[in-house]
Amino acid sequence: MKLTSIASGSSGNCIYVGSDEANILVDAGISGKKIENGLKELSVEPKSLDGILVTHEHIDHVAGLGVMARRYHLPLYMTEKTAQAVCNIKSVGKIDHELFQVITPDRPFRIRDITIDATSIWHDAADPVCYTMESGGVRASIATDMGNYHEGIVEKLKGSDILFIEANHDINMLQVGPYPYYLKRRILSNRGHLSNERSGQLLCDIMTENTREVFLGHLSKDNNYSELAYETVKISLLENGMVPEEFHMQVAKRDMVSGLAVV
């Protein structure tokens, strides 16, 4: 399997996942043009896309969804409540109802040779999920936008070959930073975003000797920076006995294509 992000962070998220037979996107939170440019860089024809998985309806995950769906007639996979919420966002525009493929957490479905399983996560959205995808014995998991994690998530993500996990903020930077009090509380809550520290703990709970590639993504522009996220998570992994030589870790880039993980 192949995986990388085309954009990652509060200004827009879009992840590309490829298998032998399928090309899919997880979220489309940047403009259609930017998605097309990213795919071009990856030598993936937008016409060859098989669909878009949507995690939740926040604009940084759906800004380009309408454009991509209309332009390439792409099936859009999401839970029913997320679909309703997406339909209520004016800027996404009209999407043909037949393109919506309603999914249910914990009920795996297939797109060509990829088996996909959604898991409910804690976030301030209608019905947010994370995704685990498996093809040819390789498993890739994507989990961003969650205030905290539960045992169900650990169970699903554990032992994935490729992991894309949120490392949103440094708690200190957030606390002393310029955000208004209500927003700080929202981000720090169980339905907000994962801190670097918590992201490191999650990785300690789910990484096994199978894990080859780790992405840290959805970094806050104001309350985090790449080196800090990377070092904080790395310390946590080292403290828990992970051997850095056994996996490759990178911070997903905010507005360009990151390194392609191939397992």
Binding residues for Zn ion, per CB under 5 A? 58, 60, 145
**Least distance to Zn ion, CB of residue 58, Å:** 4
**Least distance to Zn ion, CB of residue 4, Å:** 18
Nearer to Zn ion by Cβ, of 145 and 213: the residue is 145
Give the residue among 63, 75, 92, 84 at the shortest CA–CA distance from 24: 75
**Least distance to Zn ion, CB of residue 123, Å:** 6
- CA end-to-end span of the chain, whole Å? 5
State both tokens at 213.
Answer: 């590639």
Cβ-based neighbours of 11, under 8 Å, separated by 6 or more: 30, 60, 221, 254, 255
Nearer to Zn ion by Cβ, of 85 and 263: the residue is 85
Backbone angles phi, psi at 181, to 5 degrees: -55, -45
**Least distance to Zn ion, CB of residue 153, Å:** 16
**Least distance to Zn ion, CB of residue 130, Å:** 12
Nearer to Zn ion by Cβ, of 72 and 179: the residue is 179
Q: Which residue is nearest to Zn ion, using beta carbons? A: 58
Q: Where would I find the beta strands (DSSP E) of the chain?
A: 2-7, 14-18, 23-26, 51-53, 76-79, 100-103, 109-111, 114-120, 129-135, 138-143, 162-166, 213-217, 248-251, 261-262
Neighbours of 196 (CB within 10 A): 28
Nearer to Zn ion by Cβ, of 60 and 161: the residue is 60
Rounded CA gap, 178 and 13, in Å? Answer: 23
Nearer to Zn ion by Cβ, of 59 and 204: the residue is 59
